[in-house]
Amino acid sequence: MPRGHKSKLRAREKRRKACTEIQGLEDAQATAAAAGESPSSFCPPFEDRPQNVPASGTPSIPQAAQGTSSATAAVSCTDSGEGANGQKEESSKSSKGTEGSQTDPLNKQVVLLVQFLLQKYQKKEPITKADMLKFVIKRSKCHFNEILKRASEHMELAFGVDLKEVDPTRHCYALVSKLDLAFDSTVNEEEIMLKTGLLMIVLGVVFMKGNCAPEEAVWEVLNMMGVYAERKHFIYGDPKKVITEDLVQLEYLQYRQVPDSDPPRYEFLWGPRAHAETSKMRVLEFLAKVHDTVPSAFPSCYEEAVRDEEERAQARASARAAIASVRSGAMASNFPEAK
């Protein structure tokens, strides 16, 4: 079997598993609703569980976790050859996987771990393997690695954060945003986290379309993940406002009218903050992970991303040299050589 075909099959299987896990979450929420319980009642007994619907309008953690499988399927179609037939096949497999989602005992553990990780991220509390085993994965300790792997993929694809082990000895982890938010400390981390997954997808579409994507191309991909311009979304709220106003005002995206277009058409580009806080290589790595492959599997984009990394490295080196020169001059003026 050709290597490329095997890669597509692996990616499809990965998306199918994600879909069944999300179906398991939806089943759990339906059961809770029938019993008069809120979805948050499925959270393990933490010291202070977050409100199911905060006053700011932030979606509940169980709802937010649902975005992962649809995001996976959508980005997979950004530059793949699967097209509509692939989507139909995915839909068929997803419906067949519903029964499996109800019987796989790991699904609920994955969902609970996503909730746990999000709460830790929002509270800026340390994440340890001991706590995950104590509060979430009590009865499935032998499956810890698999549950952690699935939950990590959900966090990355839905919220744009990576789970990294920062202390192998004590098994401590940290959630790291794909955006370097140190660029501007005025940005609300929790608010932008809920939009980062959506932002990464839009940035990916723009990159794949030659660094300038027609608005209709962006919505074509977002529609595949269940995000529509005129329909409120459980994670993003008003998606059109998010990508054409909020992320534009924050300078992550540029949204402009196509010159001489009649009727008016619009297009997206990366904004200055996106160039500062992420990179083409990071976005390509995100897309590659969705496709279950490596960045070099997209040759033209990979070459451009490598050039971008080299240019960034040269710019950083030049900046350091300039700073060193200024410091050297200041020291010389303060301590002139004795004549």
Determine the length of the chain. Answer: 339
**pLDDT-derived band at 290, boundaries 50, 70, 90:** confident
Higher pLDDT, 26 or 254: 254
Buried-state track 194-221, b at ≥16 Cβ within 10 A, e below 16? bbbbbbbbbbbbbbbbeeebbbebbbeb
- What CA–CA distance (Å, rounded) separates 198 from 228? 12
Residue-wise pLDDT tens digits, 114-150: 989 988 888 888 999 999 999 888 888 899 999 999 9
What's CA 183's distance to the chain center, in Å?
19
What is the spatial order of strands in the sheet that 161-167 belongs to?
127-128, 172-177, 161-167
Q: Which of 283, 277, 315 is nearest to 301 (CA)?
A: 283
**Cis (ω within 30 of 0) for the bond into 263?**
yes
Residue percentage of the chain with pLDDT more than 70: 64
Residue 50: band (very low, low, confident or very high) from pLDDT cuts 50, 70, 90: very low
| Residue 15: band (very low, low, confident or very high) from pLDDT cuts 50, 70, 90 | low
- The DSSP letter of residue 233 is B
| Interior/surface letters 42-55, b for 16+ CB within 10 angstroms, e for the rest | bbbeeeeebeeeee
pLDDT at residue 206 in the model: 96
Q: pLDDT band for position 192 (50/70/90)?
A: confident
Least Cα distance to 242 among 188, 199, 181 occurs for 199
Residues in Cβ contact with 291 at an 8 Å cutoff, skipping those fewer than 6 apart: 7, 11, 76, 80, 297
pLDDT-based confidence at 324, cuts 50/70/90? confident
Q: Answer yes or no: is pLDDT of 297 > 70.
A: yes
Mean pLDDT of the chain: 74
Task: Give percent of the chain above pLDDT 90.
Answer: 36
Residue 98 has pLDDT above 60, yes or no: no
Tokens of 113: 């771990």
pLDDT at 147: 93
Please check whether residue 199 is in contact with residue 181, taking contact to mean a CB–CB distance below 8 angstroms: no
Q: Helix 67-76 and helix 144-159: axis angle, to 10°? A: 70
At residue 260, the pLDDT reads 92
Amino acid, single-letter form, for residue 252? Y
The average pLDDT across 238-249 equals: 94
In order, the DSSP letters of 277-301 are H--HHHHHHHHHHHTTS-GGGSHHH
Predicted TM-score (pTM) above 0.75: no
**What structural domains and CATH numbers belong to the chain?**
106-177 (1.10.10.1200), 189-278 (1.10.10.1210)
pLDDT at 276 over 70: yes
Sign of CA pseudo-dihedral 289, 294, 298, 304:
positive
pLDDT reported for residue 17: 54
Helix (H) or strand (E) holding 270: strand 266-270
| Residue found by looking up tokens 């499988």 in the block | 69
φ, ψ for residue 105 (rounded to 5)?
A: -70, -15
Which H/E stretch holds residue 174? strand 172-177
* 94 pLDDT tier (thresholds 50, 70, 90): very low
